[in-house]
Amino acid sequence: MPDPIPRPITRLIEEFGRLPTIGPKTAQRLAFFLLRAPAAQVAALGAAVTGLREHVVTCARCGNYADQDPCSICCDPTRDQQLLCVVEDPLDLLAIERSGGFNGVYHVLHGVIAPLDGVGPDELNLSALAQRVRREGLREVIVATNASIEGDATAAYINGLLEADSLVVSRLARGLARGGDIEYVDAATIAMALEGRSRVADDWPSGV
């Protein structure tokens, strides 16, 4: 029998269903929620979606999403402009910024080297990275890609790409997350935490 849902509703259900983590049931629930929501809320959501790309730019220097080019981080004179942190995507940048432990500048790759997915160095923001190192006299490049096989491979590639006498290329420490119970930590992480152990001193742990 013909489906009794009006086309504008099925269209919205389809569009919601194309979003990550939104399955058919949730898409249906969201569409019917909006049918009963105040008109102002529906209008606000529609305007926020439509206006997303109109007012967001990509910083030509670091690749992050911003409302100005260059972005406020790149333009900030109080930041350490010779210390660079390379990340896979803007959400990683956000997490690092919110940690409060970094005062340098960033470079967003918008991805990671993943040969099985057809993503090689040319598909990432990597040539711009090499140019920045030459042009900006960087002191250290922290490769803060994820602690995964692809993240490690990308770090190795960057290390080979940027090899120079005066440049330090570093990687974030591996180990236990704060609050974690060793009993539930995976074997590889425990092995790395053992390997990277450091002496207990009067001022350790710092800042924890």
Closest to a second copy by CB, 118 or 160: 118
Closest CA to 156 of 96, 125, 148: 148
Closest CA to 93 of 109, 81, 104, 106: 106
206 binds a second copy (CB under 8 A): no
Closest to a second copy by CB, 35 or 191: 35
**Is residue 168 classed as helix, strand or coil in its secondary structure?**
strand
Which position has the token pair 């432990």? 101
Q: Count residues contacting a second copy (CB under 8 A)? A: 61
Instruction: List phi, psi (to 5°) of 97.
Output: -60, -45
70 binds a second copy (CB under 8 A): no
* CB 9 to a second copy: min, Å: 6
* CB 128 to a second copy: min, Å: 17
| DSSP letter, residue 79 | S
Site residues for a second copy, 107-126, by CB under 8 A, read: 110
Candidate ranges 90-98, 129-137, 162-170, 199-207; the one touching a second copy (CB under 8 A): 90-98
Q: Which amino acid is at 145?
A: T
Q: What is the distance between the alpha carbons of residues 39 and 46, in angstroms, rounded to a whole number? A: 11
55 binds a second copy (CB under 8 A): yes
Q: What is the distance between the alpha carbons of residues 143 and 162, in angstroms, rounded to a whole number? A: 11
Closest to a second copy by CB, 93 or 169: 93
What are 58's strand-pairing partners? Answer: 65
**Is residue 106 classed as helix, strand or coil in its secondary structure?**
strand
Candidate ranges 92-100, 150-158, 167-175, 184-192; the one touching a second copy (CB under 8 A): 92-100
Interacting residues toward a second copy by CB under 8 A: 1-9, 11-12, 14-16, 18-22, 26, 28-36, 39, 41-56, 64-67, 71-73, 89-91, 93-94, 97, 100, 110
